[in-house]
């Protein structure tokens, strides 16, 4: 656990899972920390990016970690890959190594405004919630990053999830999350890609945790290649996994009730 963190308030760790985001990771780290409180750290979990993402993180860390309270950390995974496992590894490190009270995470392509991390944390604290979800599908939110096809598929999947899993959440595929440590000590992430978020939010609701949504505007990435999907086929493949996750979770809930 980091020494010297004695200020009041929760210790927040933002986990940034990266693969080939060298042009985005520096501005993202700086953006998160520029709007964060004094007890906020950033942990980059990099899947051994060949484009030099880790080297950029080390350069940024050298500029920030000049006092007795380092705030930027790098965990470089070799021989491992995958979004869900990277986020879970970051959560584990945040809780067990750094003693974080709140863990947040987001995509690392700057599509999720880094200043909104502070808004998620604020919602947790002020509304006494357990999980805060960045939402594109509530008033004040929007998705201007993707075309009509992707937005339509997202809208359909999320409304399907709301119908079967509960309307406390409108953006089950958000991937922009802040949560208290108690949640992640009870729920581990499951899934291959974005369906982990559906799984997490559904199980959190089912276990009685309080969720709140915070509107945000998803904007286009400025550099690098999208990992969401490049064409209709890729969107449909990922969408099929999302629908399957919703159906599985609904069946599990029905079995528990009966």
Q: What is the pLDDT of residue 6?
A: 43
pLDDT recorded at residue 233:
56
What's the CA angle centered on 73, arms 67 and 78, to 5 degrees? 150
Quick check: helix, strand or coil at residue 178?
Answer: strand
Residue 138 near residue 217 (C-beta atoms within 8 A): no
* Low pLDDT (below 50) residues in the chain: 1-6, 258
Question: Is residue 5 a part of any domain in this protein?
Answer: no
3 occurs within a structural domain: no
Q: Is residue 152 a part of any domain in this protein?
A: yes
- Is 2 domain-assigned? no
| In a domain? residue 6 | no
Residue 4 lies in a domain: no
Q: Indicate whether 38 belongs to any domain.
A: yes
> Could you tell me the CATH number of the domain that includes residue 212?
3.90.550.10
pLDDT tens track for 206-243: 999 999 999 999 999 777 565 555 555 566 677 788 99
> With b meaning 16 or more CB within 10 Å and e meaning fewer, what string describes 62-86?
eebeeeebebbbbbbbeeeebbbbb
Is residue 1 a part of any domain in this protein?
Answer: no
**pLDDT score at 228:** 57
pLDDT at 225: 61
Q: What is the domain count for the chain?
A: 1
What pLDDT score does 1 carry?
35
Torsion of CA 213, 7, 187, 219, to 10 degrees: 40
Report pLDDT for 4. 36
| Domain interval for residue 165 | 12-257
């Amino acid at each position: 656990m980091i020494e010297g963190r004695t200020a009041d308030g929760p210790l927040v760790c933002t986990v940034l899972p990266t693969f080939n985001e060298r042009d985005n990771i520096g501005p993202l780290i700086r953006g998160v920390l520029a709007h964060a409180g004094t007890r906020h750290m950033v942990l980059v979990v990099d899947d051994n990016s060949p484009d030099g993402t880790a080297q950029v993180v080390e350069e940024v860390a050298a500029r920030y970690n000049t006092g007795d309270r380092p705030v930027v950390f790098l965990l470089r995974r070799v021989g491992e890959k995958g979004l869900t496992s990277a986020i879970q590894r970051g959560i584990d490190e945040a809780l067990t190594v750094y003693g974080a009270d709140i863990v947040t995470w987001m995509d690392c392509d700057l599509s999720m405004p880094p200043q909104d991390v502070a808004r998620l944390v604020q919602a947790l604290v002020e509304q006494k919630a357990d999980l805060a979800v960045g939402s594109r599908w509530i008033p004040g939110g929007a998705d201007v990053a993707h075309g009509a096809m992707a937005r339509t598929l997202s809208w359909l999947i999320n409304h399907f999830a709301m119908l079967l899993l509960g309307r406390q959440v409108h953006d089950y595929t958000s991937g922009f999350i802040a949560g208290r440590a108690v949640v992640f000590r009870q729920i581990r992430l499951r899934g291959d890609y974005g369906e982990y978020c559906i799984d997490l939010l559904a199980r959190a609701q089912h276990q009685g945790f309080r969720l709140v949504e915070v509107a945000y505007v998803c904007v286009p990435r400025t550099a690098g290649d999208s990992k969401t999907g490049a064409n209709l086929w890729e969107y449909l493949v990922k969408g099929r996994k999302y629908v399957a996750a919703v159906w599985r979770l609904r069946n599990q809930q029905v079995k528990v009730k009966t």
